[in-house]
Amino acid sequence: MPSLDEIMQMAQAAQAELQKAQDNLDNVEVEGASGGGLVKIRTTAKGRILSVAIDDSLLVPAEKAMLEDLIVAAFNDARAKADVAANSEMQKMTSGLPLPPGFKMPF
């Protein structure tokens, strides 16, 4: 069984790796789309919005409500993909750490 010092060192190493992984999430990009690609939102896995693209065919005043709904749907799609990308990155980071069974990250 590891000593308390070894456990503390493992925890500090895990925390440093977690911070590194969190920082890397801002470099992972995903794209959410709705309306068959008429509205697209690019975001980072950390949730920062990079761009919004709206097809010209939607820029009709009578279609304002539909456009707003499509933007919300595209954002939600991007957010879901960002969550998947973030979870994948975090699993890569924790796979090499000697953590006890059932230990959850982050602390």
pLDDT tens digit sequence for 43-98:
888 888 899 999 999 888 998 899 989 999 998 999 899 888 888 877 776 676 66
Higher pLDDT, 100 or 81: 81
**Reported pTM:** 0.63
Q: What's the farthest any 2 CA atoms get from each other in the chain? A: 69
What domains sit in the chain, N to C, each tagged with a CATH number? 25-95 (3.30.1310.10)
Mean of pLDDT values over 32-39: 93
For residue 52, report the phi and psi dihedrals to the nearest 5 degrees: -130, 130
Q: State the virtual CA torsion across 70, 76, 78, 84 in degrees, nearest 10.
A: -150
Distance separating alpha carbons of residues 10 and 24, to the nearest angstrom: 21
The rounded distance, in Å, linking the Cα atoms of 82 and 84 is: 5
Report which secondary-structure segment, H or E, holds 33.
strand 29-34
